[in-house]
Amino acid sequence: MALARATDAFWSTGFSGTSLDRLCEATDMNRPSLYLAFGDKRALYLAALGQYIEQSSQAIAAALDYDLPLAVALTQLYEFTLTVYLPKAANARGCFMISTAVPEAMDDDEIRSLLRAAVTEFDRLVCARLLHARQIGELPEASDPATLASIATAVVHTLAIRARAGEPRKALMAIAAAAVMMICGPAGPAARTGRRCAVR
């Protein structure tokens, strides 16, 4: 619970902009207790970032359900990200990793390494899903899953930035729908029939 509250604080004002006093207030812990539980401010941020990356990776893998048509799985992925970036009970916040880690990555090798590894893993998960789609005929044999995966994940990053900037959900979903159409085609057989994939 304390880590989740600290994550929310960092999410709102970034690593540099979040003071220890604010973290103590957010976690309902005094400084000695905070240091004992997490270490210094940087260690607390790294714990928050690591947990966010791990949870996001699990949620992304679940959204890219191999038993769903590709277009449905990609739409589900984008819908999931927007529930995170545009929570109903809070202000638009975008992606925790992009909003907080990107500004710190230039001067912090560990944060930059975590950021690069997370982006690489995201690409890998989407690429594997697209490769499967090509193998079962949902994508043309000549398609390039790696390139399409880079496009699909780039759209997620764009949604994160635009959400943080305050664009409405309807506009962001329109971008997502256009990306799905570009990757999958306007109306492939799986999209029309809801065919479920039997091969993993």
State pLDDT tens for residues 26-47: 999 999 998 899 989 999 999 9
* Average of per-residue pLDDT across 15-24: 94
* Average of per-residue pLDDT across 14-20: 94
Is 139 within 8 Å of 80 (Cβ atoms)? no
- pTM of the predicted model as reported, rounded to 2 decimal places: 0.87
Number of residues that make up the chain: 200
Maximum alpha-carbon separation in the chain: 60
Q: What pLDDT sits at residue 182?
A: 95
Domains of the chain, first to last: 53-193 (1.10.357.10)
Q: 152: which residues sit within 8 A by CB, 6+ positions away?
A: 74, 77, 126, 130, 179, 183
Is 15 within 8 Å of 80 (Cβ atoms)? no
* Average of per-residue pLDDT across 151-178: 96
Cα-based distances in Å from 135 to 37, 140, 145, 185, 186: 48, 9, 11, 16, 19
* Average of per-residue pLDDT across 165-171: 94
Closest of 160, 1, 198 to residue 84, by C-alpha: 160
Encoded tokens for 29? 């812990």
Fill in the amino acid letter for 119: V
State pLDDT tens for residues 175-200: 999 999 999 986 444 443 343 333 22
Confidence of residue 172 (pLDDT cuts 50, 70, 90): very high
Q: What pLDDT sits at residue 193?
A: 38
Is 125 within 8 Å of 64 (Cβ atoms)? yes
Q: What percent of the chain has pLDDT over 90?
A: 85
CA–CA distance, 26 with 74 (Å, rounded to integer): 35
- With 0-12 / 13-18 / 19 or more C-beta atoms within 10 angstroms meaning exposed / middle / buried, residue 27 is buried
State pLDDT tens for residues 95-117: 999 999 999 999 999 999 999 99
